Amino acid sequence: MKGKLIKRLEKLLGEENITTRPEDLLCYSFDATREEFIPDVVVFPSTPEEVVKIMELAWEEEVPVIPRGAGSGFTGGSLPVKGGMVVSTEKMNRILEIDERNLTALVEPGVVTGELQQTVEALGLFYPPDPASLTFSTLGGNVAENAGGPRAVKYGVTRDYVLGIEAVLPGGEKITTGRKVVKDVVGYDLTRLLVGSEGTLAFFTRILWRLLPYPPATGTLLALFSSREQAGEAVAAIIHSRVLPTAIEFVDRGALDAVKKYAGVEMGNQAQALLLIEVDGEEELVPRLLEKVAEVCQQTGGTTRVAKDQAEAQELWLARRAISPAIAQIAPTKINEDIVVPRSELPRALARIEALEEKYGLPIICFGHAGDGNIHVNIMTDKKDPEKWAKAQKAVREVFAITLELGGTLSGEHGVGITKAPYLSMELSPRVMELLKGIKRAFDPKNLLNPGKMGLD
């Protein structure tokens, strides 16, 4: 069967666009979770029509199809857990149109996030979502995971910029949702349903984006604190003070040490935690916003410093983006959760998570998009050490329990994939799960598109 499938794929797409070489299959077998599942074949379509052919063939042969962008996901979304075809979007990487009159962009799914950002910025336009992975993650992957980033505090997440999607359904039918309009209330909002669908409902072949004018000026401020909790209190106070920064990023001592070692950047002197805050707006407004934010941070016990110029601001943001790979060097295994709590609950969440370090005897490093209440909780462990691994599993469950108790959610941006599926019932009721499974069946009755994900099987 496998041989026949490969032959048919070769005929449809040309030999150069498929591979079964073991060394290639290995490259498409993992993502940022470091879990590993070897696909049967990897396919590289260049056009929506080729995706249609692939989906038709998969339907006939009943073979799983796994859409894949850059493979930078943190929950195993692009992994072929049931074998089948990994369909990479790396040859679908063109920006097709930037419409400066309507402030929209039309792109193929394999375009790298940062490339769209830079291209529109050169025209004075702004694509705000900025996951820390923006130099390598793809827009298709961002849509499938509804990626967030530091700027979500003021500008929202990927979903807030998707106007429409062209997608191929299991079976090979192509549909289009949304259009180049600002308002659209005709029928259920399928565009918003597809965003965050983790490759389980449809294969995106084109994405239509909403753009904004580029903000005239920005300013960056560092606030240093003597505890994680105090930094959390400052975040809650900033939000309460009615100032809306572009970004409020939290970094704890463990992350500061890691980034110093990895990237050679000292961000926080002796501080136990810091906030990296950005504001934007008209030139004359920015200093006033910085002043107000500094005042609130000082009132909650912080010391503050404004970045003297763009170069310093950029260095700080680069260091912020290096945290995730920096932490990965600390222990053999990093369990990276991305919980969200109401922002007023941040101080309690951070204090209770800190207490788990001692309880389980494992380092727990926290950083992330505190302005959204979204904290990356990194439990440092070793998968090969059964005792440490068992402790880490217990710690994860307790982190989730604390989060839900405080009115939060298990994931703010990384999605469910395979790693969070075992915990879904902590948050979603059986009836809600049934509704989600019903939606999956309506799109994919044979369960061929990215099976084994999101607890839907």
Interface with ligand FAD by CB under 6 A: which residues?
A: 31-32, 66-74, 77-78, 89, 109, 131-133, 137-138, 140-142, 144-145, 147-149, 198-199, 203-204, 324-325, 413-414, 450
Nearer to ligand FAD, 134 or 237 (CB): 134
Q: Which residues pair with 247 in a beta bridge?
A: 278
Strand-by-strand arrangement of the 364-368 sheet: 303-306, 217-225, 273-281, 247-252, 364-368, 374-381, 333-340
Shortest distance (Å) from residue 207 CB to ligand FAD: 8
Shortest distance (Å) from residue 59 CB to ligand FAD: 16
Shortest distance (Å) from residue 69 CB to ligand FAD: 2
What is the SS3 string spanning 31-74? CCCCCECCCCEEECCCCHHHHHHHHHHHHHHCCCEEEECCCCCC
Nearer to ligand FAD, 280 or 444 (CB): 444
Shortest distance (Å) from residue 327 CB to ligand FAD: 10
Strand locations in 299-456 (E): 303-306, 333-340, 364-368, 374-381
Q: How far apart are CA 390 and CA 377, in angstroms?
A: 17
Nearer to ligand FAD, 70 or 221 (CB): 70
Q: How far apart are CA 332 and CA 326, in angstroms?
A: 12
Nearer to ligand FAD, 230 or 374 (CB): 374
Shortest distance (Å) from residue 384 CB to ligand FAD: 22
Nearer to ligand FAD, 69 or 347 (CB): 69
Q: How far apart are CA 333 and CA 232, in angstroms?
A: 27
Shortest distance (Å) from residue 355 CB to ligand FAD: 26
Shortest distance (Å) from residue 288 CB to ligand FAD: 28
Shortest distance (Å) from residue 335 CB to ligand FAD: 14
Of 155, 168, 196, 130, the closest CA to residue 49 belongs to 168
Shortest distance (Å) from residue 146 CB to ligand FAD: 8
Residues 443, 437 contacting (CB under 8 angstroms): no
Nearer to ligand FAD, 117 or 324 (CB): 324
Residues 457, 179 contacting (CB under 8 angstroms): no
Nearer to ligand FAD, 118 or 269 (CB): 118
Nearer to ligand FAD, 302 or 373 (CB): 373
What is the token pair recorded at 211? 């753009």
Nearer to ligand FAD, 360 or 423 (CB): 423
What residue spans of 285-382 are helical by DSSP H?
285-299, 310-321, 323-328, 346-360
Q: Give the CA-trace dihedral at 365, 368, 374, 377, to 10 degrees.
A: -20
What is the token pair recorded at 84? 């089948």
Residues 381, 389 contacting (CB under 8 angstroms): yes
Shortest distance (Å) from residue 301 CB to ligand FAD: 28
Residues 201, 89 contacting (CB under 8 angstroms): no
Phi-psi region of 238 (alpha: psi -120 to 50; beta: other; left: phi over 0): alpha
Shortest distance (Å) from residue 46 CB to ligand FAD: 13
Nearer to ligand FAD, 190 or 237 (CB): 190
In angstroms, how far is the first alpha carbon of the chain from the final one? 24
Nearer to ligand FAD, 5 or 144 (CB): 144
Q: Which helix (H) or strand (E) holds 275?
A: strand 273-281
